[in-house]
Structures are given as C-alpha cells and as structure tokens.
Amino acid sequence: MNMIDYERLATIFLDKYDLAIHADGPTLECPPWCDGNHIHGRHYEVSVMDKKEKRDTFTFDFWESERDCQNNDRPNNYTVLSMILSTMRAEPFDANEAILKSIQDFSKRAKKFFTEEELENLKNIASN
Ligand SMILES: [Zn+2]
C-alpha cells in the first residue's frame, strides 16, 4: 500500500467512529527527547475529537518527522493514528524517567479515550 491508501484507511476508521483529527500549529518547540541535535520536525497540538461529543477530546503534543518537515507536510489522519499506536507500543530502553512517564501517561489517556474495538481496528491500519 502507498501513503494514499493508508490515509484512506485512516479516514475510513475515523468516519466509522465519528472521530475527527485536528492539528494546531506548527510551533518550533522541541520534544522532551530532543538532545540538542534536533532530530525531529515541528510541534503541533493535535486533538482527536468525537464529532457527536460523546466523550472528551483527546489532546496531545505531536512532533512530525524530519522528512515531513522538509516536505512541509502537515500531520494527516494516518501519521497521527500511527503515532498514537507506536507510542502505546513503545518500549524505550534508554529513556529517562520523565520520558517514560510521559509515554505511560499518553497510553493511559489513549486507552481512556478509545474503545477496545477502536484500538483493535487501529492496529489494522497503523501497524507498520
Ligand atoms: Zn530540538
């Protein structure tokens, strides 16, 4: 599959569950893991919202890849959903306590926002 197919699947997923993704930004804020070499793109404040307002909006910091920054691509549905899944699966081996805590907090908030069915389906579209 190419990027267009992934984005299409991501959009089908969001439509199915009445969800929408918005990205505010960018800003030039650095992520907590930045070591001064700035191996990251720009910062956005991303919100996943329930269009029927049946649950609170899930808002979090998002850093695009360097490549997306160079191409001037804003976060799309697929890049956001795959970031959510990869962060929930992250097992950092050399992260400090603050970074570990922020990953755990993020996963907790994601599990609270998404239903189990949604998380299962998310794995199918954003598993690469
Ligand atoms: Zn930086």
Distance from the alpha carbon of residue 110 to the mean position of ligand 1, in angstroms: 25
Q: What b/e string do you get for 81-112 counting C-beta neighbours within 10 Å, with b at 16 or more? A: bbbbbeebeeeeeeeeeeeeebbeebeeebee
Distance from the alpha carbon of residue 18 to the mean position of ligand 1, in angstroms: 35
Distance from the alpha carbon of residue 127 to the mean position of ligand 1, in angstroms: 27
Query: Peptide bond before 32: cis, by omega within 30 degrees of 0?
Result: no
Residues 94-108 have pLDDT tens digits of 778 888 898 999 999
Distance from the alpha carbon of residue 109 to the mean position of ligand 1, in angstroms: 25
Q: What pLDDT shows up at residue 128?
A: 54
Distance from the alpha carbon of residue 100 to the mean position of ligand 1, in angstroms: 18
DSSP letters spanning 31-84: PTT--SS--S--EEEEEEEETT--S--EEEEEE--HHHHHTTPPP-HHHHHHHH
Domain borders along the chain are 3-125
For residues 76-103, average pLDDT: 89
